A = this chain, B = another copy of it.
Amino acid sequence: YERGAVVADARIVVGERKRFEMDVGDISFFFKARSVAVIGASTNPIKVGNSVVRSLMSNKNLRIYPINPNASEILGLKAYPSVKSLPEVPDIAIVTVPAEFVLDAVREAAEAGVKGVVIISSGFKEAEVEEGKVREERLREIARKYGIRIVGPNTFGIVSVVGGINASFTPMFSEVKKGRIALVSQSGGICHYIIHKFRDSGFSHILHLGNRCDVDFPDVMRFLREDENTDVVAVYVEGIDNGRGLFEELKRLCSEKKVVVMKSGRSSVADKASVSHTGSMAGDYRVFASAMKQAGAVVVETPTELIDTAIAMEKFEVSGGVAVLTIQAGLGIVAADIIESSGGRLARFGEETVRKLKSLLPPITLRENPVDLSFSGLNLKVFAEVIDTVCRDDDVGLVMFLYAVAPPSWVLPAEVISQIMGRITKPSILGYSSTPENYAEIKEALKGSKTLIFDSVERAAKVAAILSEKRNYF
């Protein structure tokens, strides 16, 4: 059975869709729940059953029902002994009791009429003991028998930022800004890492699938395809065992939304570690990546690339090569190196563009691509003409301007930078290095503009590479 998952991966190409047909169902109610029971709610602040209640409480309009037979009140909310004793049937329940009590809790919730549960408790398939596997199989049976949907087990939960539901053990997630990127992850650690790192970014929903005993990638993709709050879907995958389902649903999702996927397991050790319990073997990574690309997704290799790319895809669509403009040749050269060696494409300027650039710029080192404006960049009239020339070139799909602030006169005011970037008629990325204060000012000035800003040449160039990669895979 363990090895069977390899075949499941191969099904991406071979075909066989029975399991897929069964899997995909409606899960949208999780994201618009108005009443939530927390089974295993606790008065102890270091318990998961306490932090889940705190997470939910960020939304004053939610009806929250802590379930704990030994407490009358939890965090100021009336506690109940069981789901059955609640004044209403809650839309969903969150389960935080120890593994051995989970089956009963889910069964009780299902019998009471709850439509979906999120199981945070661990001690299932991931526990490497027979008992855990058996429990997980039982969970699946309960889901089928009662028609209840289960997220998890072994998940931190789900967060609908736009829906105002933080059904996770992380109260901090209530502070995530609203946006149009959905993050779907097979790892909770990666979600926490991403949210810490991208606290400026906005998300529509954050879902940690955990063990996927019932709700799996295809269900989530179907939901997100129909979700009007989401434009871009960022997916972190470790191992899959329903390759065909993922592929088919991803293909549909890609026809409606922009999708970027990262799968770990590129290296043999990581692959072994990441999918030890689903039995995938080293070497599957390439098959997976090809299939994802064939379905229409952009494939990236690190969590930072995942969200950097999602943010860029939310801002614009790139069709063509990258034109690099800089005032300091070294930055342009480093960016060109990263773009080309990462599989991206620098624009090949047409003859007319090259002729025009040579007439505009003095004989300095770089007047093709990257274009080094050098001190001419300080002549804003020349700069404007260079921008117009480059934007007119048919092969240019993205314009990148790189800038490391240096004196004496290279410190341009924020409104000048805004003007420069605003003049670019194609998707644009600004790589801007300066003091934290000056960077913050420039970032603020560009808010709401179509320019993506980075303080790292490496990250800027990597995103440009990913977006300019040739898309004709098949």
Contacts and interface: CB of A to CB of B under 8 A. Distances in A.
A385 to B, nearest CB: 20
Please state the number of chain copies in the assembly: 2
B333 A187 contact: yes
Contacts of A62: none
B51 A328 contact: no
A274 interface: yes
Interface string A321-345: 0000011111111101111110000
Given A273-B332, A330-B238, A192 B337 contact: no
Contact of A458 (B127, B264, B303, B328): B303
A126 interface: yes
A277 B340 contact: no
A408 interface: yes
A329 B273 contact: yes
Given A331-B193, A333-B265, A270 B340 contact: yes
A55 to B, nearest CB: 9
Nearest to A268: B340
A302 B340 contact: no
Contacts of A406: 156, 169-170, 188-189, 192
A72 to B, nearest CB: 22
Nearest to A189: B328
Contact of A189 (B186, B362, B404): B404
A167 to B, nearest CB: 14
A196 interface: yes
A326 B408 contact: no
A359 interface: no
A64 interface: no
Contacts of A187: 328-331, 333
Contact of A330 (B264, B268, B338, B375): B264
Interface stretch (A106-114, A224-232, A364-372, A466-474): A364-372
A267 B337 contact: yes
A350 to B, nearest CB: 16
A275 to B, nearest CB: 9
Interface in A241-288: 264-270, 273-274, 276-277
Interface stretch (A42-50, A140-148, A415-423): A42-50
A404 B333 contact: no
A268 B330 CA distance: 15
Nearest to A409: B46
In this complex, the member of A188, A337, A402, A455 whose beta carbon has the largest number of chain B beta carbons within 10 angstroms is A337
A56 to B, nearest CB: 13
Contacts of A197: 433, 455-456
A440 interface: no
A336 B188 contact: no
Contacts of A196: 404-405, 433-435, 455
Given A127-B363, A196-B435, A266 B404 contact: no
A319 interface: no
Contacts of A188: 328, 330, 406
A457 B340 contact: no
A301 B329 CA distance: 17
A329 B189 contact: yes
A407 B273 contact: no
Contacts of A456: 197, 304
B169 A433 contact: no
Contacts of A328: 187-190, 192-193
Contact of A341 (B172, B267, B273, B375): B267
A163 interface: no
A35 B46 CA distance: 64
Interface string A306-327: 0000000000000000000011
Q: Which 7 A-B pairs have the closest CB atoms?
A: A189-B328, A187-B330, A267-B340, A128-B363, A192-B404, A189-B330, A270-B337
26 contacts: A51-B407, A122-B375, A126-B365, A128-B363, A129-B363, A172-B407, A188-B328, A189-B404, A190-B328, A190-B334, A193-B331, A193-B457, A197-B433, A236-B330, A267-B336, A267-B340, A267-B341, A270-B333, A270-B336, A270-B337, A273-B329, A273-B333, A273-B365, A277-B365, A303-B457, A304-B458
